[in-house]
Chains A and B, each alone.
Chain A
């Protein structure tokens, strides 16, 4: 059941997107997200859709799998959209008791829904096609310039990669402990709120104990192998830009230019109301 959460997991593959330099993918995701929020027009969304479609197709990740990743955040999205829908001031079009929907609210809610969906899809393509290790590698190298400002980039990247590495381990562990307690008659799936919260104790205590034990073991193992932070540390696989990476940067630039052109020259008149 926990395995159903696909969001943020790596989806093994060998497509061109998988093989791109992680820095490129990070930049691409950033460009994409910024473009979503900077250019909020129907034509911009169409272009973004096209871009996503191209990337998804080349990445060879089943669309079903990507959409499944949206499920866990659906409720969150719904709440955001509802808040926007009801709480935006403006021209009222529908009123019920103390709640009123405004034209601006509807427009805003639609924008929000589209942006959030694309934001999640965009960033999940990043995590689907990039192993946690290369992701943090990319971050570390890409943000290396921050070292000048005494930001501990390596340490942050290391913490991130450890945290990411531990997510599936802890999920497995949760599953195992749940089963073990269910074998002793624990019931996680029924009863009222209080009973359910209480039922979590036999799950959470062993989970925390094991998380601390693992953290401790890992720290010891790292130290005994001579880990002492980032200074002077070299990489086994240094990141090198290749032709496909340059091509990807160019594609990004083209995407951005198109977005800007669309903003100034193409106006699809949409009158929602």
Chain B
């Protein structure tokens, strides 16, 4: 599916004392099969933007087309849209309400009108995807840890089998292992099931590692919309709006300044490793540089 946003603006509390322009003339197109990362400083409008993708926010001005149809028009079925575009909110564990994990994950599919058995089947599949085995099914979700609750909530969206998955900082507050697992799930979904993924994140490293296109928001406007390598060449501008480049980019820049012949547009660890190894191989061949540098670099990886 394809979502085209044209000149979208959104104002909170229009006509009150608390009026706030959260989005300002945004235009972008999300193509089927993309993995998009959205980054931006706190309050830049990320959450506001993605809530337009499934019609929870009604654009103050501008239009949104899903597969060519304007969703602001009378008669467009918002509910169908919500099943197609699965939206995982920031801190989704706060939306859990059922007595057992399985029932909670079934909520979405049941709203889709599925019979209990089919809903449960989809719920079980979704739970497996996020790494929750059978033993969790009958547990009370309120007895789980924060990270486990997060998985339950994400499974609740996956169980609806959306074509596009939009996640608002799904890894906030998780430990590194939990983070990698969740992001790994997203990568699998994207690669194997060709689900479109839109990932909102504060972590440049996550976005650079997983996304193949990055949208940078600043004060409700799009600052950059490009592939990671291009976006992260603007390190200075990013820092000015309260962001940063991924850590590897900084390391590579520092290495380059030290006189190593590596590319400083590298944004992911595997790329950096290849570059460093190549350079070390070449360097060690004729200059006999110390092997400590190599082990040090590897440990970082």
Chain A interface (Cβ < 8 Å from any Cβ of B): 3, 6, 11-13, 65, 176-177, 179-187, 201-202, 205-206, 209-210
Contact = CB atoms under 8 A, between A and B. Distances in A.
B107 A184 contact: yes
B111 A179 contact: no
A182 B56 contact: yes
24 contacts: A3-B13, A3-B16, A6-B16, A11-B17, A176-B89, A179-B89, A180-B92, A183-B54, A183-B87, A183-B89, A183-B157, A184-B95, A184-B107, A185-B79, A185-B82, A185-B108, A185-B111, A186-B111, A187-B79, A202-B95, A202-B97, A202-B107, A206-B94, A206-B96
A205 B54 CA distance: 24
A139 B96 CA distance: 39
A95 to B, nearest CB: 46
Interface residues of B, number: 25
Contact of B97 (A6, A11, A205): A205
Contacts of A181: 95, 107
A6 B107 CA distance: 33
Interface of B: 13, 16-17, 51, 54, 56, 79, 82-83, 86-87, 89, 92, 94-97, 107-108, 111-112, 142, 156-157, 160
Central interface residue in A6, A11, A205, by most chain B CB within 10 Å: A205
A184 B111 CA distance: 7
Given A11-B17, A184-B157, A187-B79, A179 B108 contact: no
A177 B79 CA distance: 17
A200 B170 CA distance: 26
Interface of A is mostly: helix
Nearest to A180: B95
Contacts of A209: 94, 142
Which 8 residue pairs of A and B lie closest in terms of their CB atoms, listed nearest first?
A: A185-B111, A205-B97, A180-B95, A184-B108, A183-B87, A180-B89, A202-B97, A179-B56
A182 B112 CA distance: 12
Contacts of A177: 94-95
Contacts of B89: 176, 179-180, 183
A180 B111 CA distance: 13
Given A11-B17, A179-B89, A202-B107, A184 B94 contact: no
Nearest to A4: B16
A185 B83 contact: yes
Contacts of A12: 17
A11 B92 CA distance: 32
Nearest to B57: A179
A12 B94 CA distance: 31
B97 A182 contact: no
A3 B95 CA distance: 20
Contacts of A185: 79, 82-83, 107-108, 111-112, 160
Contact of A184 (B13, B16, B51, B156): B156
Given A3-B16, A184-B111, 10 more contacts: A11-B17, A183-B56, A183-B82, A183-B157, A184-B108, A185-B160, A202-B95, A205-B97, A206-B96, A209-B142
B94 A210 contact: yes
Nearest to B166: A183
Contacts of B83: 185
B124 to A, nearest CB: 17
A210 B91 CA distance: 12
